[in-house]
Structure 1
Amino acid sequence: MHTAKSGQARKAKHCAELLGTGPSLDELVPALSLLGEKLARVLPGHLARFSGGEPPLVRIGMPMDCNLASIQADIENLASHTLMAVGAEGRPMLATFEAAPVLRLIDRAFGGRGIVPDPLPETFPLSAELLLTRLEQAIAGALTTVFGGEQDHTVRPLRRDTSLRYLNPFDKREDLLQLSLEVEEPGFDPWSFSIAFPQATLAAAIAVPRHPVKRRDPQAAPNPAAEPFGSMPVPVTAVLVDMTIGFSRLSSLKPGDVLPVAVARSVPLQVDGRTIATGTIGEVEDRVAVQILQAF
C-alpha cells in the first residue's frame, strides 16, 4: 500500500499541469494568430455552399483575451452559442453567432438580398436552427483541417443555446482567447461570428514554440541585411485595434460618438497581411512604440 501511494505521488510531482509548465496566455496569442491565418485560407471552401458555390473572403481579427462574462456583455441582442469539443477528450471551445448575420443568410437563402428584420425576433425561427447546424458543421470541418486532421484533433458540435448561463460551456471566470471572423461576398453585406478557446484547449490543439528556432547557416541563404536587400523598404503594419461593427450602427455614426474598443494583449506586426512578430504597446521619447516579444 505504501509503495502504491509513493508511485502516485511521484507521478503527480511531474505532472505538467501541477508544475504550471504549459504555455501561458501570452505565448498562445501568436500561435492563435497563425492558426487564424490558416483558418482564413481553409474556411472559405467550407462556406462556399452558403454563397452559391463561390468561396467567400474570410478575414480574421486579432486574438482578444476575454471570459464568458465579457462575451455576454458585448452582445446586445439575440445570439446563439454553440459548445464544440476537440478530440477524444472533448476539450471545449465556443462559437457565437449573433442573430442579425444568421437572419441575413436566411433571407438570402430564400432569394432575398440579406434583409434583417427590424426589430429582431426574441427567438430563432426553425430555419435559423437548421442554418446554424450547417454553419457549425462547416466551422468544425475547417478547424479539424487546421488542427491537423488527426482523430485527436477532430472538432464536433455538441449543443447550442441562446443563453450562456444555461449552456454553461466552462467556468465563467476562465481565461479565453477569442477570434472574430468576418465573411465577405461580392454584392452582399459582410457577416461575422466568433470563436473562443479556453487556454487548455488551445495548448493541447496547436503547437506553441517553446524553444528558439535554430538559425540557418549564413552561407546557405542570402543575408537579408546585406545589399541589395538591406535598403529595400518593406511596409510593416501594427494592428492596434481590429473590430467588427454592425452596418446599422456604422451608418448611424456621427461626430462626437464614442466607440468602446479593446486593445489586444499582444499586438501583431504584419507584412502583406501575414504576421511576422508580436509585441506590446509602449512609449519611447513621447512616441508610441511596439516592443517585440516574439518573432517568427
Structure 2
Amino acid sequence: MAQETPPRARHCAELLGSGPSIGDMVRPLAKLGETLARTLPDGLARLAGGEAPLVRIGIPAESTLAAMEEANAGLTAHSLMGLGPRRLPLLATFEAAPVLRLLDRAFGGRGEVPQPLPSVFPLSAQLLLARIEDAIAAALSAGLGGDPTHRVTALRRDTSLSELAPFAPAEPLLRIVLEIEEPAAQPWSLALALPLSTLAAALVVPRRQRRLAPRARPGPDGEPFASMPIEVTAVLVDMTLPFSRLSSLRPGDVLPVTVARSVPLKIDGRTIAAGTVGEVEDRVAVQLQNAF
C-alpha cells in the first residue's frame, strides 16, 4: 500500500514577515552616502595630487535603467561594479566634461574641457576613469565593513547603457548623486545606482513584521508632536580652509565660495531633504526637490 505524501508545512505570514522594499533602503543608502563623504576624499585627492575635496551626498531617488538611459545625454561613462563573491551589480556613472576637466588638471592644465566634446573617451581618460573606479570601489568596500563578502570591484565599462546591460530595464533602482568640490576648481558629480538585490545584500535593514491589527499612532499633525519646535538648518555653504589661511584673515578679506546645486536641509546633523536656492518676495528661499 502506497504511503500518502504528508502535507507541506504552511507558515504564518504574520510570523515570517516580508523582505525589504526599495523604500526601506532609502535611509540605509543615505547613511552609506554619509560614510562615502568621509572615505572617498582621500582616494580622489591622489588622482590630481591636490588637497582632499569636499564630497556632498544627495538624497537617494528611485529610478530604473530605462529612465536613466532616457535622461542620458552626450558622452557618458558607465562603470559596472560587483559586490562580494557573487559580484552583485551596482553602477557608477561619470559625465564626460568633469572627467576631461580632471584629466587636463592631472597633466598640469587649468581644467579646461575641449570643445566640441569628443565622441569617445581618449585612452588617457580611460586610464583616469579606471583610477576613479578604484577609488570608489575602495571607499565603498571600506564603508561596507571592509570584509571580503562586501568587497567592491570594477568589472567593465561602456558608454552605452544598453550595451553594458547591468540590470533589467524595468528593475527598481536607488540612485544617489555625489557632488565633489575641490579648491580652485569647478565642482563635478558622479552617480551610483543599485538594484534591490544588491542593496539588500550590502545594507542591514531590520526585518519588517506584519501586524494583524496595527494600533494607530499619532502622526506629525497631531499632539504631542504637532507643537514641538524643530530646528531645521539649510546648509548653503560649507567650506574648508587651512589653518594658515584662517590665522591671516583680516576685516575686508574676500573668501570666494560656491553654493552647491543641491542644498541639504538638516535636523540634528542628519539630512532630511534637499532643494535649490531661489527667491520669494525679496527673501531667500529653498525649493524642495527631494525628501525622505
Could you say whether these structures have the same fold, taking a TM-score greater than 0.5 normalized by the shorter chain as the test? yes
Q: Do structure 1's residue 27 and structure 2's residue 62 form an aligned pair?
A: no
Q: Check conservation: 2:83, 2:149, Cα contact below 8 A.
A: yes
Q: What's 1:134 paired with? A: 131
Q: Secondary structure at the match of 1:123?
A: coil
Alignment of 1:1-296 (within 5 A): 21-210=18-207, 235-237=231-233, 270-271=266-267, 273-275=269-271
Matches of 2:6 and 2:66, distance apart in 1? 42
Q: Are the structure 2 counterparts of residues 172 and 20 from structure 1 closer, same or farther at C-alpha, using a change threshold of 3 Å?
A: farther
Q: Check conservation: 1:174, 1:198, Cα contact below 8 A.
A: yes
Q: Are the structure 2 counterparts of residues 6 and 64 from structure 1 closer, same or farther at C-alpha, using a change threshold of 3 Å?
A: farther
Structure with higher Rg: it is 2
Aligned residues: 227
Q: Check conservation: 2:48, 2:106, Cα contact below 8 A.
A: no
Matches of 1:153 and 1:35, distance apart in 2? 13
Matches of 2:157 and 2:269, distance apart in 1? 33
* 1:98 shift after superposition: 0.8
Gaps of 5+ in 1: 213-230, 240-260, 262-267, 279-289
CA deviations 1:170-202 (Å, max 9, x no partner) are 101100000111111110001111000001101
* 1:234 shift after superposition: 5.4
Matches of 1:168 and 1:155, distance apart in 2? 18
Matches of 1:235 and 1:176, distance apart in 2? 32
- State TM-score, norm by structure 2: 0.69
Q: Are the structure 2 counterparts of residues 115 and 273 from structure 1 closer, same or farther at C-alpha, using a change threshold of 3 Å?
A: farther
Q: Secondary structure at the match of 1:95?
A: strand
CA deviations 1:77-100 (Å, max 9, x no partner) are 100111100011111000011101
CA deviations 1:22-43 (Å, max 9, x no partner) are 2111111111111111111111
CA deviations 1:40-80 (Å, max 9, x no partner) are 11111211102424211001111011111111222211001
Kindly provide the amino acid, as one letter, of the partner of residue 84 in structure 2: G
* 1:238 shift after superposition: 8.2
Q: Check conservation: 1:51, 1:185, Cα contact below 8 A.
A: no
What is the percent sequence identity of the aligned residues? 56
Gaps of 5+ in 2: 210-226, 236-261, 274-287
Query: Which has the larger displacement, 108-117 or 44-53?
Result: 44-53
Q: Check conservation: 2:144, 2:202, Cα contact below 8 A.
A: yes
Q: What's 1:265 paired with? A: none
* 1:232 shift after superposition: 11
Matches of 1:80 and 1:109, distance apart in 2? 19
- RMSD in angstroms over aligned alpha carbons? 3.3
Q: What's 1:242 paired with? A: none
Matches of 1:192 and 1:272, distance apart in 2? 26
